[in-house]
């Protein structure tokens, strides 16, 4: 866990520490059980290929949860994730290394809360952005501490 940072420490345009994920088919099975998403394209290769896919694909929602982890790892205990949007633009396959990244796009104070907005994305080893997203978070302020 990173040490708690404050609103005043954050600069628009800065990038946050990336989160690297090594996906596996085992993880897809664990995810199916934990999430209740039993779409066979995520664990049955024959079924996936019958649907015209190259093989089983990593569920978008799982990668969306990686972006959630990217946020909570960065936010520390006192920060809160308020909004997270993810757009699943390209397919990810088990065995790939996915790098989750984020960049601060905006900061503002509203109703006494200190908001930060970020643009998020996930890249595969080829540098292709397969998932993009946005997050809105609130963080503590030194002024209020």
Q: Report if residue 73 touches another protein, rule: CB under 8 A.
A: yes
Alpha carbons 80 and 24: distance in angstroms, whole number: 29
Among 17, 30, 109, 144, binds another protein (CB under 8 A): 30
| Distant-in-sequence, close-in-space partners of 110: CB < 8 Å, separation ≥ 6 | none
62 lies in the site for another protein, by CB under 8 A: yes
Establish if 37 lies at the interface with another protein (CB under 8 A): yes
Residue 94 contacts another protein per CB under 8 A: no
**80: contact with another protein by CB under 8 A:** yes
17 binding another protein? (CB under 8 A): no
| Distance separating alpha carbons of residues 122 and 70, to the nearest angstrom | 10
- State CA 136 to chain mean position distance: 13
Pair 19, 73: CB distance under 8 Å: yes
Query: From the list 66, 102, 104, 139, which residue makes contact with another protein (rule: CB under 8 A)?
Result: 66
Please select the residue that binds another protein; options are 87, 97, 125, 128, rule is CB under 8 A.
Answer: 87
Question: Contact between 77 and another protein (CB under 8 A)?
Answer: yes
Q: How far apart are CA 126 and CA 145, in angstroms?
A: 43
Asked if 59 touches another protein (CB under 8 A), the answer is: yes
CB of 52 to another protein, least distance (A): 7
Q: Helices 25-35 and 60-75 sit at what angle, rounded to 10 degrees?
A: 90
Query: In the structure encoding, which two tokens stand for residue 115, read together?
Result: 């908001």
Backbone angles phi, psi at 48, to 5 degrees: -60, -45
Instruction: Note the residues at the interface with another protein (CB under 8 A).
Output: 1, 21, 27, 30-31, 33-39, 41, 51-53, 59-62, 64-66, 68-69, 71-73, 77-78, 80-88
């Amino acid at each position: 866990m990173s040490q708690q940072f404050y609103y005043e420490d954050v600069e628009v345009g800065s990038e946050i520490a990336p989160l690297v994920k090594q996906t596996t088919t085992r993880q897809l099975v664990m995810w199916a059980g934990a999430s209740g998403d039993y779409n066979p394209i995520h664990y049955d290769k024959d079924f996936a290929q019958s649907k015209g896919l190259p093989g089983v694909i990593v569920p978008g929602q799982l990668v969306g949860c990686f972006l959630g982890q990217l946020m909570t790892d960065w936010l520390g205990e006192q920060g809160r994730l308020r909004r997270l949007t993810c757009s699943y633009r390209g397919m990810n396959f088990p065995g790939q290394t996915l790098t989750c990244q984020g960049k601060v796009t905006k900061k503002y104070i509203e109703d006494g809360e200190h908001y930060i907005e970020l643009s998020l994305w996930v890249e595969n080893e080829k540098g292709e952005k397969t998932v993009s997203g946005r997050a809105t978070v609130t963080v503590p302020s030194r002024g209020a501490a």
